[in-house]
Amino acid sequence: MKDYNYFNTLLVQNVGTKVRAIAPTITSSAAFGYEDAQEAESIFKGEVANPLYARVGNPTTTKLETIVAKMEGGLAAVATSSGMGALAMVMTAYLKAEDEVLCIGGFFGGTYTLVNETMKRFGVQSSFCGIEEYEQIEERLKSGINMVLIESVGNPSLELPDLPKIIELCNQYETLLVVDNTVTPLTLRPLEMGADIVIHSTTKAMSGHSAALGGIAVFRAIKENDKLYHEKYAHLHPIVNKMQKKAMIAIAKKRAMRDMGMSANAHGSFLTMLGLETLALRLQRVNESIPILVKILNEKLPSNITVSHPSLETNRYHQRFKSNFNEACGPIITLECNNKERAFELLNNLKLVTQTANIGDNRTLALHMASTIYRDFDKATQKYLGVSDGLIRISVGLEDPKVIAEDFLQAIL
């Protein structure tokens, strides 16, 4: 990870412009006029970089894409209408019927249903492995699966995978690896570590204000002897051969964005950039607050409620938290209340914290998992995803950590 200062400089300087309007300009036009028929042809051919039509790109969104690509160390990015839009774009662009996705670890509910229900209806198969089940993971990779999907930190399971090891395996078996890095922007840079595609819900920490729904996928450049030249990706070869270095972006745009229109809108992209300016500052604050908050809760909660977070020495991921994650794994902590009634009572007694289905907000948020995002799943699936009847997910915000702790403690007593 690069330090917060690096990103504080990079982000404010890239969002701002030095001359004339210094804030990003919102270009809210859906269509763009061409100089003449020749220019129209050149734009559609991809030879001239002027805007074509807002479904496939908008100047405000292009600026956002350039900043996030730099931030993630990728070649380029494609912004989408939501985080689910980014996942749907990547899956539909890169996969076809009878391909298989391997999902490693626990997942956000929408991602789980996208893979396990929606993509399945269109013939894309899926299999699931725990983050430490390396033998099973290797077996699936050997069998020739087409894509691996993993969250950098399980939401809400708080599992911390050994990402370098998973990346090494995917590269060994020439399999595309997609990392959902929503929970750990800046902290982890999976493309630099060797992953192929990084996606984010920008609705979360990147914005911080909950004022804009959005997503983004960031892509690496195609290399010599790229894994995409493998026979299992033969359906992508015409684009790879034609577009070469930039093929991964063309695959996303031409095989998903153009035909399905999960496009970002200019106003949303503008709001997301306003959030990006302060992302590093806000992350630093949250990452410093969490161990303070978790320590207080761990000491003061009654024995029938436990706080969970990798910063605790007793947590099974504590060592990995320190080594691979540089002691920062996003805004989530969880409370196990052991039953739904106790969880509801605690939530309803909160005075400061907001009950809502988001994470990464500037405000501290909390939500009972089993009755909301995970309500459509059976018990076995909930268990696999790390959700129990008494689980509350908390997303820690910018408030004084002692004041956040007081709110939870007063809600119990």
Nearer to ligand PLP, 329 or 359 (CB): 359
Nearer to ligand PLP, 157 or 240 (CB): 157
Which residue is associated with the tokens 């970002």?
A: 264
Return the residue nearest ligand PLP (CB atom): 83
Instruction: List Cβ neighbours of 250 (8 Å cut-off, separation of 6 or more).
Output: 239, 242, 243
Give the separation between CA 188 and CA 171, rounded to whole angstroms. 18
Nearer to ligand PLP, 253 or 393 (CB): 393
Write out the H or E segment, with its range, that includes residue 394: strand 391-395
- Report in angstroms the alpha-carbon separations of 199 from 78, 108, 182, 345: 10, 13, 7, 36
Positions touching ligand PLP (CB under 6 A) are 82-84, 108, 110-111, 151, 155, 180, 182-183, 201, 203, 213, 215, 359
Nearer to ligand PLP, 173 or 219 (CB): 219
Instruction: List Cβ neighbours of 390 (8 Å cut-off, separation of 6 or more).
Output: 336, 337, 338, 339, 340, 342, 343
Q: What is the closest distance, in whole angstroms, from the C-beta atom of residue 373 to ligand PLP in the complex?
A: 8
Residues 251-262, buried b or exposed e (16+ Cβ, 10 A)?
bbbbbbbeeeeb
Q: What is the closest distance, in whole angstroms, from the C-beta atom of residue 356 to ligand PLP in the complex?
A: 11
Nearer to ligand PLP, 155 or 263 (CB): 155
Phi, psi dihedrals of residue 234, rounded to the nearest 5°:
-55, -35
Q: Where are the beta strands (DSSP E) in 123-187?
A: 125-129, 147-151, 176-180
Nearer to ligand PLP, 52 or 150 (CB): 150
Q: What is the closest distance, in whole angstroms, from the C-beta atom of residue 118 to ligand PLP in the complex?
A: 13
Q: What is the closest distance, in whole angstroms, from the C-beta atom of residue 69 to ligand PLP in the complex?
A: 19
Q: What is the closest distance, in whole angstroms, from the C-beta atom of residue 35 to ligand PLP in the complex?
A: 37
Q: What is the closest distance, in whole angstroms, from the C-beta atom of residue 154 to ligand PLP in the complex?
A: 9
